[in-house]
Amino acid sequence: MAESDALGNTGRRDFLLKVTTAVSGVGVAAACLPFVASMNPSSDVLAKATTEFDLSGMNPGDMRTVAWQGKPIFILRRSQEQIREMEASNGGLDPEPDRQRVKQPEWLVVSGVCTHMGCVPNREGSGWLCHCHGSQFDDSGRVLRGPAPNNLEVPPYHFVAGNKIIIGQA
Ligand code: FES
């Protein structure tokens, strides 16, 4: 318990000290808000962070490559047969169920950057072949043959009304 001085003002002094500390803390926080807000990405930066693509022109079996943040993204509209085949296996060198790699079985969305040394694989047969060193990926983007160690990455994306996809936001 605090001791009083000769005039009995200790309690009052402690109270004033606490109030001053609290008020100055709020003031510092308020002063920092504009700086914190200025660190958020601007709307034009956010726009570049995402890529919108209209899926309506794609038929089963079609693939398109779109650019997102300077990287190729493969969008594959899979046929029912392709979906059945991919759901029946867990891939190869980096096993992963197909259902964990897609939001809708009909649409596969994966990075077009080989996980070995970053070449862009070509669509060949039922999957992709990276001609740099021979890695092979299936219709789920899973690596079947190395030297690539991992499956093609799945970027963040979501579907929006009007048969469109937004890449860059989950
Ligand atoms: S970069 Fe694709 S196999 Fe080496």
- For residue 167, what are the CA distances in angstroms to 73, 89, 100, 145, 158? 9, 26, 17, 27, 7
Cβ of residue 86 lying under 6 Å from some atom of ligand 1: no
- Are 126 and 139 in contact, with CB atoms under 8 Å apart? yes
- For residue 101, what are the CA distances in angstroms to 3, 6, 42, 83, 95? 68, 75, 31, 12, 11
Query: pLDDT value at position 61?
Result: 96
- Average pLDDT, integer, range 33-61: 73
Kindly give the number of the ligand 1 atom that is closest to the alpha carbon of 134: 3
Q: Which of 116, 131, 133, 158 is catalytic?
A: 133
Identify the band that residue 96 occupies on the pLDDT scale cut at 50, 70 and 90.
very high
Query: pLDDT value at position 19?
Result: 56
- Residue 165 tokens read as 């996809």
d(CA 6, CA 40): 54
- 163, pLDDT greater than 70: yes
Cβ of residue 148 lying under 6 Å from some atom of ligand 1: yes
Query: pLDDT value at position 79?
Result: 97
Q: Which of 133, 137, 144 to mutate to test the pocket of ligand 1 (most atoms within 8 A of CB)?
A: 133
* Ligand 1 centre distance from Cα of residue 6 (Å): 83
- Average pLDDT, integer, range 54-72: 96
Per-chain mean pLDDT for the chain = 85
